Chain A
Amino acid sequence: MHCEFLLIDGGKMSKSLGNTYLVQDIIDKGYEPLAFKMMCFTAHYRNKLNFTWDALESSQNSLNRLREGYKKHSEGNEKIDDSIIEEYKNRFLEAINDDLNMPVAMSVIWDVVKNPNKSKRLAELLLDFDKVLGIDIQKSEGKKELELPQEIKTLIEQRKKARENKDWTLSDKIRDELKEKGYIVKDTKEGMKIEKI
């Protein structure tokens, strides 16, 4: 079994063209490496795949939408027939067992995501399919949805106020305190961003 080449902007990847991109370059441009994995699923492994940064952007968007879709199902309580679950399962299995036909497998996943009946059973099904994809489908999208303990939330609020009052000493002190508790604060154009270390 052999995997076909990756093209860059429709041509070959080469040192002289300066387009020998690394996974690190994907991270540096603000994308997740897993967005690249999503992109690989858009073509069969025996076909060439064309990489462009625009295509990566849309793969990142797809990944985000997929995770949102998973979340909506995980919060839903509607009933789903066993037969529907079975049908999705069979179609998915048929696709992956047909020489790893990931583009078809992905279309089944989108059908599940787009099912208007939001149900935990469909969320479980997506989680099961993610065993094959490995794209962390249960990961909540973006840093804004990070679950923060109350103590941390209070500190962040205090820091926001300190910054509004231009009390940089207090702001920095709270930042260091947050760091000690395992959270990194970044001040960006869109506001404060919190990351867990």
Chain B
Amino acid sequence: MKIYFYNTLTKTKEEFKPIEENQVRIYTCGPTVYKDASIGNMKSYIFMDNLRRVLKYNGYTLKHAMNITDVGHLVSDGDEGEDKMVKAAEEEKKTPLEIAEFYTEKFLTDFDRLNIDRPEIICKATDHIKEMEEFVQKLLDNGYAYETSTAIYFDVSKLDEYGLLSGIDLRNQKAGARVEVDKEKRNPYDFALWIKAPENHIMKWESPWGLCYPGWHIECSTMSNKYLGEVFFIHSGGIDLVPTHHENEIAQSKGCTRKNSSKILDAL
């Protein structure tokens, strides 16, 4: 029997035609493990479980990756504010690693309590710092990113179609319409890929651009690319992730693969 799924990008229900005959590759944005997951968060993973089970019921095998964000997700969801992990670590007087382990464990306990089928691959951002750095380098090489005194930014003007997923129209965005922290940004919607760490920042890594930590969005493009390949079929998550996180993920993946408008668009 045919399967139909709603595509956030085209805003229509479309017939599901997987890239491979029997296998479906899925990426789900997992939790930022700095506090307990609420039942509101769990609604989204019950949906993920539902998707997995329906595909399996239809006879597909799954290759499904879900990330655990343990660095880089800032309080504002944008490029401003403290890292959520660091803030929680300070408040609970633990290390960010302890915070991450504690809440990851609790998160997966809730999965079991709700009979949520676990994705085949569960990957942590901090285990992929090197790969993220390479991804950023590739974006610089491909001309989609630039360096400022505080960060490496993605240049959204280099894409024809930034904003398609959430319906942002760049032509109607005036510079300074949003709160600007970094005056060196070329476009208001440019977002940080790699952030130069202030001296007192706990989580930071050596990189060609000095001691840095990754932006929130780069981990998902890096890990989905590593585990699922350049083009995968279903990307799922909570609706709140559409305007910033998923929009930026698409941008990064396009910039890296130079597939500006092709298959990647089908992947949502």
Contact = CB atoms under 8 A, between A and B. Distances in A.
Interface of A: 1-6, 8, 13, 20-27, 33-34, 36-37, 40, 45-46, 49, 51, 90, 93-94, 96-100, 102, 131-136
Contacts of B39: 6, 21-23, 25-26, 36, 51
A40 B13 contact: no
B242 A132 contact: no
B114 A23 contact: yes
A99 B6 contact: yes
A123 to B, nearest CB: 18
Q: Chain A contact residues: over half helix, strand or loop, or mixed?
A: mixed
A33 B54 contact: no
B115 A136 contact: yes
B56 A131 contact: yes
A135 B115 CA distance: 7
Contacts of B5: 1, 99-100
Given A37-B115, A96-B54, A1 B236 contact: yes
Interface residues of B, number: 45
B1 A21 contact: no
Interface of B: 1-8, 13, 36-40, 42-44, 46-51, 53-54, 56-58, 110, 113-117, 234-242, 246, 268
Contacts of B49: 134
Contacts of B1: 90, 93-94, 97
Contacts of A37: 46, 114-115
A40 B44 CA distance: 10
Contacts of B236: 1-3
B241 to A, nearest CB: 7
